[in-house]
């Protein structure tokens, strides 16, 4: 029972890490990367789909993303979707391909983005701690129902705490990497 609980708790904590990684990928640094446009949605025959499902997204150079729609009529829609997104990008239509240059970040903007990154990290830590609390609660209930002994409860809580420490450390590492990436000029 304790192993099953630890396994499900660890899987949930891993999902929290994946969610954090995806949130951090949305935070724009001065460098271009194709994942930046992953959450930009464009209308395609009446339904909203991600840009990478209607176009080829590539890197032209370190500061420019190239978006080449598979269908010519989609050029305008893709360009409008990128412009209207909350990324603050200004795409330019080159006829066959849309060029999306990355404007350089100011020092002030970098500091703001660092605060955003720390906020995302804190949210992920809270999620991991909530999972710890839920697992410990399940252990306490199992002791009340006489399904496990108090020694097993203590062992289970130690195991859950080790998992929590491991994932909080991983979150800190991801945050440090992203902050370093943001502050590079």
Give me the CATH number covering residue 170.
1.10.132.20
Rounded mean pLDDT of 29-57?
83
Q: Is the pLDDT of residue 35 over 90?
A: no
Residues 119 and 179 in one domain: yes
Residues 153 and 172 in one domain: yes
Query: Which pLDDT tens digit goes with each residue over 144-165?
Result: 888 888 888 899 999 999 999 9
State the pTM of this model.
Answer: 0.66
DSSP code per residue over the chain: -HHHHHHHHHHHHHHHHHHHHHHHHHS--SS--GGGGTT-EEEETTEEEEGGGTEEEEEEETTEEEEEESSTTHHHHHHHHHHHSTT----EE-SS-EEEE-PPPPHHHHHHHHHHHHHHHHHHHHHHHHHHHHHHHHHHHHHHTTSS-HHHHHHHHHHHHHHHHHHHHHHHHHHHHHHHHHH--
Number of structural domains (the chain) is 2
Residues 20 and 67 in one domain: no
Residues 176 and 119 in one domain: yes
Give me the CATH number covering residue 90.
3.30.1360.40
Residues 42 and 97 in one domain: yes
Residues 22 and 80 in one domain: no
Q: Is the pLDDT of residue 33 over 80?
A: no
Residues 124 and 64 in one domain: no
Rounded mean pLDDT of 55-68?
88
Give the confidence band of 8 by pLDDT, cuts at 50, 70, 90. very high
Residues 118 and 171 in one domain: yes
Give the confidence band of 23 by pLDDT, cuts at 50, 70, 90. confident
Domain boundary among 101, 127, 160: 101
Predicted pLDDT of residue 28: 65
Q: Is the pLDDT of residue 31 over 90?
A: no
Domain that holds residue 57: 34-101
Residues 157 and 68 in one domain: no
Domain boundary among 101, 121, 153: 101
């Amino acid at each position: 029972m304790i192993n099953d609980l630890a396994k499900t708790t660890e899987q949930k904590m891993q999902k929290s890490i994946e969610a954090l990684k995806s949130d951090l990928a949305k935070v724009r640094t001065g460098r271009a990367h194709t994942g930046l446009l992953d959450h930009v949605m464009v209308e395609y025959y009446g339904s909203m789909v991600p840009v990478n499902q209607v176009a080829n997204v590539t890197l032209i150079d370190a500061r420019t993303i190239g978006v080449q729609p598979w269908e010519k009529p989609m050029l305008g829609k893709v360009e409008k979707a990128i412009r209207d997104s909350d990324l603050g990008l200004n795409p330019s239509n080159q006829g066959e391909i849309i060029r999306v240059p990355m404007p350089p970040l100011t020092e002030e903007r970098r500091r703001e983005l660092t605060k955003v990154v720390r906020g995302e990290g804190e949210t992920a830590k809270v999620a991991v701690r909530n999972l710890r609390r839920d697992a410990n609660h399940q252990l306490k209930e199992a002791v009340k129902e006489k399904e496990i002994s108090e020694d097993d409860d203590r062992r289970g809580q130690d195991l859950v705490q080790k998992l929590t420490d491991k994932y909080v450390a991983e979150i800190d590492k991801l945050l440090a990497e992203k902050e370093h990436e943001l502050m590079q000029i």
